[in-house]
Amino acid sequence: QYVPVKGDHVIGIVTGKAGDVFKVDVGGSEQASLSYLAFEGATKRNRPNVQVGDLIYGQFLVANKDMEPEMVCINSSGRSSGMGIIGQDGFLFKVSLGLIRKLLAPKCEIIQELSQLYPFELVLGMNGRIWVKAKAVQQTLIIVNILEACEYMTAEQRKQALAKVSGK
Amino acid sequence: MKATPLSNCERRFLLRAIEERKRLDGRQCYDYRNVRISFGVDYGCCVVELGKTRVLAQVSCELVPPKANRPTEGILFFNLELSPMAAPGFEPGRQPELLVTLNRLIERCLRNSKCVDTESLCVVAGEKVWQIRLDLHLLNHDGNIIDAASIAGIVALCHFRRPDVSVQGEEVTVYTPEERDPVPLSIHHMPICVSFAFFQQGNYLLVDPSEREEQVMDGLLVIAMNKHQEICTIQSSGGIMLVNDQVLRCSKITAVKVAEITELIQKALENDQKVRKEGGKFGFAESIPHQKITSFKMGSAAVDTNSVEEQAEEIITKAGPPSEVFAKPILHTPGTAQIGEGIENSWGDLEESEKEEAVEEEGESEATAFECQKTESEDVSTVKETKKDEPIVLSDSEEEEVVILEPQELPKKTRAQTNSKQESTRKKTFTKRRRKKRAAY
């Protein structure tokens, strides 16, 4: 179960609009709120194009046990720095929180080995969600399965699995 | 808890993958997930795992009077429960629609197909019959509950043994398992449900949908068949239009699948029978795999300590000198000492009257606690001495006993020496202010 922490970058799913605020599910006990002005270049006239069911990558502005968590998609200087709506294609899946932290460590071996397979885009949310997009559906599926299996595999087994995939 | 909503991204991806005939876990369109059947210690208790979907089945029996319109038949009772541990969307208040659908399907599959011979459950016609009760619990929901539940149900019924009964004239004797071996139920055939998920108005078809696939499917077709290729139940939900040959194709696939699964069930039942006869260990504890890593483990990583010394020296030289150290405490009276001087009181100006009586106290010195431990007993005596001089005023607050002290010999910038004394003086200033307010009212 994910507990929202201030400053954490997470992937959320938009579940509804309430006035000028989006309700986003982040996998915690409560849904987070995301104001439509919290995007780069958003003004009252120029609203971001967010639909129900879209994926959002943002960080928590407010996250404590007394209040509903609040998310934003801009950083303190008003830039988006990679946050915002995640593109339409690609696949979202869930892994354990420990694996995410391992993947986010600098010079993570898993990511380096995977990047040698084929090019892909990867977004890691601290709430256990990962979004992957590769050129072909098959490639995306392979990456998804390897990442999910990384939880229980040792480094040796992972190298073997990757060798099998790249050898194919 | 609310279930996680399915994002547009996932939905689109799944549909695209299905168009390319790819499934998330790498199966083919007509592939089933691994079916694992394990039995409990009791007869009639089994767990079926279809991939990650798990269903627990338990059969029990009881002697009851029969139904009025069927005096020579036993009673069958089926119950399926969706446990909240199966999925975050299931709450104790339940998902009534899904539950009702599943229950009805199980009933039609097992009761209407007459797979269990109810006549043989009769003991005394019109008076006593066996009531067989099948309870199914869903332990984990990863798609295709109906298949797993039907397999679990029929396996449990086959595995169950009821107590032996003998009727002699008017006397009915029910033997305990110790007296006579319990008797299995008489089962004619084994109906098994197979589910098909349809996508894009019946263009694409998947067998044994997983949970994600179920969320994006257009419609579901369930066919219950036994190994003699007799269809027991067929149900189509979701409102998709199916053509004749699609349904026929599905039934052919079902025949193949049912044959495989029936064989698997027979093997599992035989294995269990053998183990029990040989006196080996059986039950759920045995069927859990050992030596399996269930959480991930960080391998110990080597730390490079070559340049540590240089880094440490760098840090030390760059760091500023430590702040001033007070070498010697000033001894006021035996048992009270002062370390360091305090800074100016930053609370703002107090009135004249308050100033006379207030003992200003700022912050705490770090060595106070240390002093406190050593000199606690002596300090108490010091406090008591000063108490005798002035009147003791007890405030209404729930805080500790408040004592008003006169600052006689103590310098203005005194550091309080003991914790208790600190609190009392601090609280005293608070209460002083409060009393003033009350006076104003």
Q: Is there a domain that residue A1 lies in? A: no
For residues A98 and A78, state if they share a domain. no
Nearest CA in chain B to A146: B25
* Cβ atoms < 10 Å from Cβ of B314: 11
Query: Please, which pLDDT band fits residue B286 given cuts at 50, 70 and 90?
Result: low
Whether the CB-CB separation of B429 and B358 falls below 8 Å is answered with: yes
Closest to B9 (Cβ–Cβ): which among A92, A138, A155? A92
The predicted pLDDT at position B135 comes to 93
Interface confidence (ipTM) of the complex:
0.84
For residues A58 and A17, state if they share a domain. yes
Query: Please, which pLDDT band fits residue B431 given cuts at 50, 70 and 90?
Result: very low
Q: Which residue has the higher pLDDT, B330 or A61?
A: A61
For residues A20 and A71, state if they share a domain. yes
For residues A71 and A132, state if they share a domain. no
> Is some CB atom of chain A closer than 8 A to the CB atom of B17?
yes
Domain boundary among A62, A85, A108: A85
The pLDDT of B159-184, averaged and rounded, is 84
The CA distance from B350 to B356, in Å, is 10
Task: Work out the minimum CA distance from B22 to partner chain A, whole angstroms.
Answer: 7
SS3 of residue B9 by DSSP: helix
Highest mean pLDDT among A127-141, B167-181, B272-286: A127-141
Q: Which residues pair with B311 in a beta bridge?
A: none
Q: Which string of DSSP letters, residue by residue, matches B307-348? A: THHHHHHHHHHHSPPPPP----PEEEETTEEE-S-PPPP-S-
The CA distance from B262 to B115, in Å, is 14
Q: Is there a domain that residue A44 lies in? A: yes
Question: What confidence tens digit (pLDDT) does each residue in B297-327 have?
Answer: 555 555 666 677 777 887 777 776 666 666 6
The pLDDT of B424-436, averaged and rounded, is 46
Q: Which residue has the higher pLDDT, B253 or A75?
A: B253
The CA distance from A58 to A125, in Å, is 9
The predicted pLDDT at position B151 comes to 92
- Partner-chain contact B12 A89, CB within 8 Å: yes
Q: Is B298 exposed, middle or buried (0-12, 13-18, 19+ CB in 10 A)?
A: exposed
- CA A119 to each of CA A83, A156, B299: distance values in angstroms, whole numbers, following the listed order: 21, 23, 27
Q: What is the sign of the dihedral through the CA atoms of A93, A98, A104 and A107?
A: negative
Q: What is the sign of the dihedral through the CA atoms of B56, B62, B67 and B72?
A: positive
Q: Which string of DSSP letters, residue by residue, matches A3-18? A: ---TT-EEEEEEEEEE
For residues A56 and A115, state if they share a domain. no
Q: Any residues with CB less than 8 A from the CB of B383 and at least 6 apart, and which?
A: B403, B418, B420, B421, B424
Number of domains in chain A: 2
Q: Is there a domain that residue A3 lies in? A: no
For residues A16 and A72, state if they share a domain. yes
Domain boundary among A85, A105, A123: A85
Give the CATH number of the domain where residue A19 resides. Answer: 2.40.50.140
- Partner-chain contact B25 A140, CB within 8 Å: no
Tokens describing residue B340: 């360091």
Give the CATH number of the domain where residue A132 resides. Answer: 3.30.1370.10
Task: Work out the minimum CA distance from A3 to partner chain B, whole angstroms.
Answer: 15
For residues A67 and A100, state if they share a domain. no
Q: Any residues with CB less than 8 A from the CB of B292 and at least 6 apart, and which?
A: none
Domain boundary among A60, A85, A110: A85
What letter would DSSP give residue B200? Answer: T
For residues A79 and A127, state if they share a domain. no
For residues A96 and A81, state if they share a domain. no
Residue B213 with chain A: CB contacts under 8 Å = none
- Interface probe with B: pick from A104, A152, A157, most Cβ of B within 10 Å: A152
* Weakest mean pLDDT among A29-33, B214-218, B408-412: B408-412
For residues A47 and A110, state if they share a domain. no
How large a percentage of chain B has pLDDT more than 70? 69
Write out the residue range of the structural domain in which residue A23 sits: 8-85
The CA distance from B388 to B225, in Å, is 97
The predicted pLDDT at position B400 comes to 55
Q: Which residue has the higher pLDDT, B313 or B193?
A: B193
Residue B293 with chain A: CB contacts under 8 Å = 152
Closest residue by Cα to residue A37 from A13, A14, A20: A20
User: What DSSP element (H or E) covers B253?
Assistant: helix B244-278
The predicted pLDDT at position B393 comes to 52
Identify the residue whose tokens are 């998920």.
B197
SS3 of residue B76 by DSSP: strand
> Is some CB atom of chain A closer than 8 A to the CB atom of B291?
no
Full set of structural domains in chain B with CATH: 18-283 (3.30.230.70)
Query: Please, which pLDDT band fits residue B150 given cuts at 50, 70 and 90?
Result: very high
Question: What confidence tens digit (pLDDT) does each residue in A51-67 have?
Answer: 888 898 999 988 888 88
Q: Which string of DSSP letters, residue by residue, matches B255-320? A: HHHHHHHHHHHHHHHHHHHHHHHHT---SHHHHSPSS---S--PPPPP---TTHHHHHHHHHHHSP
Closest to A141 (Cβ–Cβ): which among B6, B22, B298? B22
- Partner-chain contact A53 B20, CB within 8 Å: no
Tokens describing residue B204: 């694409």
Q: Is there a domain that residue A67 lies in? A: yes
Task: Work out the minimum CA distance from A89 to partner chain B, whole angstroms.
Answer: 6
How large a percentage of chain A has pLDDT more than 90? 4
How large a percentage of chain B has pLDDT more than 90? 9
Q: Is there a domain that residue A2 lies in? A: no
The predicted pLDDT at position B389 comes to 47
For residues A101 and A68, state if they share a domain. no
For residues A66 and A116, state if they share a domain. no
The CA distance from B155 to B192, in Å, is 10
